[in-house]
């Protein structure tokens, strides 16, 4: 018996339903920074996460474009 590929963070294209749009990180409030020049600052962590989010979003958008190119009908379905 042949096994069915499983969706995973590495291979989310197996099932597009299991490939949700990345969620941006929540920006810390200005009052969450102590202002004492910490290294790293809470905002340094935030900007690292924001860079990671942007990379994940670009990859997700590319997967969505490829999926829609393979199945033009899915581009018309607002649920996809």
- In a domain, residue 52? The reply is yes
User: What's residue 1's pLDDT?
Assistant: 47
The verdict on residue 49 lying in a domain is: yes
pLDDT score of 76: 55
Asked if 65 and 74 touch (Cβ cutoff 8 Å), the reply is no
Question: Would 53 be classed as within a structural domain?
Answer: yes
Would the CA dihedral through 33, 38, 41, 44 be positive or negative?
A: positive
Mean pLDDT per 10-residue segment, the chain (80 residues): 48 66 96 94 97 97 90 59
pLDDT of 28 reads 97
> Is residue 24 situated within a structural domain?
no
The answer to the question of residue 7 being in a domain is no
Residues 44, 54: Cα–Cα separation, whole Å: 15
Per-residue pLDDT at 15: 61
Indicate whether this model's pTM tops 0.85. no
Does residue 40 belong to any structural domain of this protein?
yes
* Residue 76 resides in a domain: no
The range of the structural domain enclosing residue 51 comes to 36-70
Q: Into how many domains does the chain fold? A: 1
Instruction: Give residue 45's pLDDT.
Output: 97
């Amino acid at each position: 018996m042949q096994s069915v590929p499983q969706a995973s963070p590495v291979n989310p294209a197996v099932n597009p339903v299991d490939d949700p749009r990345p969620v941006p990180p929540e920006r810390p409030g200005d009052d969450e920074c102590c202002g004492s020049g910490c290294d790293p600052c809470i905002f340094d962590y935030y900007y690292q996460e924001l860079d990671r989010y942007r990379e994940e979003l670009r990859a997700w958008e590319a997967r969505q474009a490829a999926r829609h190119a393979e199945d033009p009908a899915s581009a018309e379905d607002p649920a996809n």
